[in-house]
């Protein structure tokens, strides 16, 4: 089989790229190592920047998002027993939308299937060949049979552990990483959210986040040890700890209920450079990971898709390849700015086990300045709603 663009990975970035390319008349195929059921069940982020919403609209899959998504004009930062609202709308003219990544994936899968586009699930032993030549191709196994796809270009949208980045010669790539000494213990529960907007809380016992997936589904997190055992945390223990980390006005209003998902997520910052290797382009988590503080993971993947789609569209329209050649540089400039923001917010909101009272005082001083200075609030808001592409 020969195709114009072969996409590895059917997460949101691969599906979004495939949908945009299809609407531009560019042929694609997607291969995915997991089952369709697993892909649709994955629980991930839920705060979308305006740029991500615009891209989903451009791909023709924004209808349900606009009906069910929750637009947020602000966000709350809590510390020293009080909460402070950052008015995103008034400071930047932009907002964010809460709409779960699981729902984004459903919308994209439905649109791809409705258009009759091909996705091959449950593939094994994916290998990428000849990326530095004009005859690049992918081999994989499906039900014990080896298949080959020849492609003009390959988009590696297969995440941190995928085949794409690992297929690049070690001497051709540089990686930068910061592993944080804690994780997030998170739960999902079908209970009304504590607040109509997200609450990020800094407390001497550790960070907490009150988020949501809908008007009836809450997503809560607390900072924990990275080696925490989920079975040691009953729902009652979790809610008790969450209350301790919130200002009293919020703790008193917390509705509790049984969780149906509970997990511990480690935190890291990771960037691979460059993001292009001949005919292979890395997209999203294949090239970069950010801590969930600041909600940049999915949104960064979307901005990568924007740059790569525009470059491929110009290539197939007969333009020169200046945009393809600039993909890595353009994507990485925005990536590093988002990595900086996520790192800064993580450092400001979390308790670091090896640092003492001095560090805690600095964190409070930084937060106090952020909420009391319009310039500082504006800089925070600009980064939170998403920097321009």
Positions marked catalytic: 72, 200, 292, 296, 384
Cβ atoms of 346 and 293 closer than 8 Å: yes
Q: How far apart are the first and last CA of the chain?
A: 34
Helix, strand, or coil here: 165? helix
Under 8 Å between Cβ of 131 and 280? yes
How many whole angstroms separate alpha carbon 69 and alpha carbon 83?
A: 25
Q: Give φ, ψ of 4 to 5 degrees.
A: -75, -50
Q: 318-323 long-range CB contacts below 8 Å, 24 or more apart?
A: none
Assess contact for 219 and 212: CB atoms under 8 A: yes
Residue 357: which residues within 8 A CB-CB, separation 6 or more?
A: none
CA distance 147 to 76: 51
Show the tokens assigned to 211: 């988020």
Query: What span, in angstroms and rounded, lies between the C-alpha atoms of 167 and 233?
Result: 39
Tokens, residue 210: 């009150």
Question: Hey, which bits of 130-216 come out as E strands?
Answer: 137-142, 145-156, 174-189, 199-201, 208-214
Q: Which of 291, 343, 386 is nearest to 72 (CA)?
A: 386
User: Cis (ω within 30 of 0) for the bond into 274?
Assistant: yes
Using only C-alpha atoms, the chain has a radius of gyration, in whole angstroms, of 21
Determine contact, residues 239/252, Cβ cutoff 8 Å.
Answer: no
Measured CA to CA in angstroms, residue 152 lies from 24, 27, 198, 212, 341 at distances of 16, 10, 43, 41, 35
Contact criterion met (CB below 8 Å) for 257 and 216: no
């Amino acid at each position: 089989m020969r195709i114009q663009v072969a996409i590895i990975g059917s997460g949101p970035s691969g599906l979004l790229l495939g949908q945009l390319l299809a609407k531009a008349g560019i042929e694609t195929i997607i291969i995915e190592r997991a089952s369709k059921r697993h892909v649709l069940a994955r629980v991930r982020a839920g705060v979308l920047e305006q740029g991500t919403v615009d891209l989903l609209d451009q791909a023709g899959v924004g209808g349900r998002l606009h009906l069910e998504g929750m637009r947020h004009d602000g966000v709350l930062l809590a510390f020293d027993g009080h909460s402070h609202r950052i008015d995103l709308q008034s400071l930047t003219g932009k907002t964010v939308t809460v709409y779960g990544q699981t729902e984004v994936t459903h919308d994209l899968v439905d649109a791809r299937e409705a258009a009759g586009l091909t996705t091959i699930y449950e593939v094994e032993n994916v290998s990428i060949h000849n990326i530095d030549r004009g005859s690049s191709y992918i081999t994989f196994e499906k039900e014990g049979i080896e298949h080959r796809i020849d492609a003009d270009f390959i988009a590696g949208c297969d995440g941190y552990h995928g085949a794409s980045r690992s297929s690049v010669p070690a001497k051709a790539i540089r990686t930068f990483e910061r592993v944080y000494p804690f994780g997030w213990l998170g739960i999902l529960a079908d209970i009304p959210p504590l607040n109509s907007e997200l609450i990020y809380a800094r407390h001497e016992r550790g960070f907490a986040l009150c988020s949501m997936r809908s008007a009836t589904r809450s997503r809560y997190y607390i900072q924990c040890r990275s080696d925490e055992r989920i079975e040691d945390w009953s729902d009652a223990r979790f809610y008790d700890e969450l209350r301790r980390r919130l200002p009293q006005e919020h703790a008193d209003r917390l509705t509790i209920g049984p969780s149906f998902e509970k997990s511990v997520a480690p935190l890291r910052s990771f960037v691979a450079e460059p993001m292009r290797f001949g005919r292979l382009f890395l997209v999203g988590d294949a090239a970069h990971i950010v801590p969930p503080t600041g909600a940049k993971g999915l949104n960064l993947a979307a901005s990568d898709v924007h740059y790569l789609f525009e470059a491929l569209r110009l290539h197939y329209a007969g333009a020169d390849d200046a945009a393809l050649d600039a993909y890595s540089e353009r994507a990485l400039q925005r990536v590093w700015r988002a990595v900086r923001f996520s790192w800064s917010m993580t450092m400001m909101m979390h308790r670091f086990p090896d640092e003492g009272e001095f560090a805690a005082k600095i964190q409070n001083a930084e937060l106090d300045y952020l909420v009391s200075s319009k310039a500082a609030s504006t800089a925070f808001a600009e980064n939170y709603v998403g920097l321009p592409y």
